[in-house]
Amino acid sequence: MTRLLIVDDSALMRKLLVEIFSASGDFDIAVARNADEALAQLHAFRPDVITLDIHMPGMDGLACLDRIMIERPCPVVMVSSLTEEGADETLEALSLGAVDFIAKPQGPVSLEIDTISAALVDKVRAAAKARISRTLRLADRVRLRTGAPNRPKPSPAARPRRRGKNAPLEDIAAVLVGVSTGGPPALDVLLQPLPADFPWPIVIAQHMPASFTGPLARRLDRNCALPVSEAARPGPLEPGNVYIGRGDADLLISRRKGSAVVMPAPASPDLPWHPSTDRLVESAIETLGAKRLVGVLLTGMGADGAGAMARMRSEGGHVIAQDSETSVVWGMPGALVALDGADHVLPLGDIPGQLVDWAMG
């Protein structure tokens, strides 16, 4: 049995969550009404996984999460609202060490809870098996608390759009990234080391709701040398730019008037996760050809992207899978490795260097 601690100040929400997880049959459940009770249960109940509401009276969910990661690091799934404020708070929680999040229903909770129950159980089961890096969390906390500045973002004039003259893969047209559970912190690690003159466009499918991907793009843009934007409308695929797919939709690469474009598309009903990495990669193969692509499959549950990136490699593309030790959940990259679809299986921190080596010699 998985020991689950449910932390929520709403009696109704606690009742509904207890009913959902009790029905699944594989959870031993305890509840807490506030952060103080949660911290007491952290040591008395010793949960394997926690669901934690962000908004609580007294100590809020972010402060409680910080204490959890200091006192007894444990996988945490945040329960968030779908507002932009909720998105910013959730991204902050993920940077502090939360494994994943689930968005509350937008309508009456008692009527709409069934719409998220299956996804919630799946996320909590996956989170219970997730790896928590205590060392990485401590380093992040020190940086946040001391106010150490991030690397200054260069002015637009310092962001050349040219390819490196001696690039060993000089014909590459795009880097395609697929990521899910554990994605926002992983994207920080992937993108922050890339220099302002990195020559290739990077297109990212991160499984998230639509209200979260804009704040994620803005957060990454503040912290990275490369410009990062949400691909909310069709636009040119430009060197040295990073594009985040809009949540609850899919992201495609196509061609208009002879030029490659990146464009959102309605979410395919045949696929479970959006933006779909498989659909992104397939569209890029058809538009640009596999040999002109680099694929990077990062942490996430499920297998989205594994089949398409394995095809990419078989047709001459270059593919990297994140290794199991640095993945929060080694689902997507693990499925890719099982298909023999990766040229390299690397720790997350080594992937930016590999991309720079390929792109810039």
User: At 13, which CATH number?
Assistant: 3.40.50.2300
Clarify whether residues 338 and 274 are in a common domain: yes
Choice among 81, 117, 197, 207 that is catalytic = 207
Clarify whether residues 46 and 186 are in a common domain: no
Clarify whether residues 29 and 70 are in a common domain: yes
Tell me if 64 sits within 8 A of 21, measured CB to CB.
Answer: no
Task: Look at residues 113, 139, 165 and tell me which one is the last residue of a structural domain.
Answer: 139
Give per-residue burial for 221-247: e unless 16+ CB within 10 Å, then b.
beebbbbbbbbbeeeebebbbbbbbbb
Clarify whether residues 122 and 160 are in a common domain: no
Tell me if 220 sits within 8 A of 204, measured CB to CB.
Answer: no
Q: Report the number of distinct structural domains present in the chain.
A: 2
Helix residue spans in 58-199 (DSSP H): 61-71, 84-96, 109-112, 114-128, 134-146, 183-191
**For the segment 120-133, what is each residue's pLDDT rounded down to a tens digit?**
999 999 999 998 86
**Domain range spanning residue 167?**
156-360
DSSP category for residue 300: B
**Confidence band, pLDDT 50/70/90 cuts, at residue 103:** confident
How many Å apart are CA 98 and CA 92, to the nearest integer?
Answer: 9
CATH at 333 = 3.40.50.180
Tokens of 42: 């952290």
Clarify whether residues 219 and 134 are in a common domain: no
Answer with the residue of higher pLDDT: 236 or 169. Answer: 236
Clarify whether residues 215 and 258 are in a common domain: yes
Residue 239 lies in a domain: yes
Task: Look at residues 139, 173, 196 and tell me which one is the last residue of a structural domain.
Answer: 139
Decide: helix, strand or coil at residue 80: strand
Task: Look at residues 139, 167, 199 and tell me which one is the last residue of a structural domain.
Answer: 139
User: Is 180 known to be catalytic?
Assistant: yes
Clarify whether residues 63 and 172 are in a common domain: no
9, 191, 240, 358 from 318: Cα distances, Å: 49, 18, 18, 10
Tokens of 244: 């985040």
Region 47-70 average pLDDT: 95
pLDDT score, position 160: 37
Clarify whether residues 100 and 161 are in a common domain: no
Region 136-144 average pLDDT: 48
Residue 147 lies in a domain: no
Residue 145 lies in a domain: no
Residue 151 lies in a domain: no
Tell me if 31 sits within 8 A of 6, measured CB to CB.
Answer: yes
**For the segment 177-213, what is each residue's pLDDT rounded down to a tens digit?**
999 999 999 999 999 999 999 999 999 999 999 999 9
- Segments of 284-332 assigned E as strands: 293-297, 318-322
User: Is 207 known to be catalytic?
Assistant: yes
Clarify whether residues 241 and 181 are in a common domain: yes
Choice among 8, 9, 188, 304 that is catalytic = 304
H or E element that contains 213: helix 210-223
Clarify whether residues 116 and 180 are in a common domain: no
Clarify whether residues 55 and 174 are in a common domain: no
Tokens of 283: 């569209």
Choice among 80, 81, 117, 180 that is catalytic = 180
Clarify whether residues 184 and 316 are in a common domain: yes
DSSP category for residue 329: S
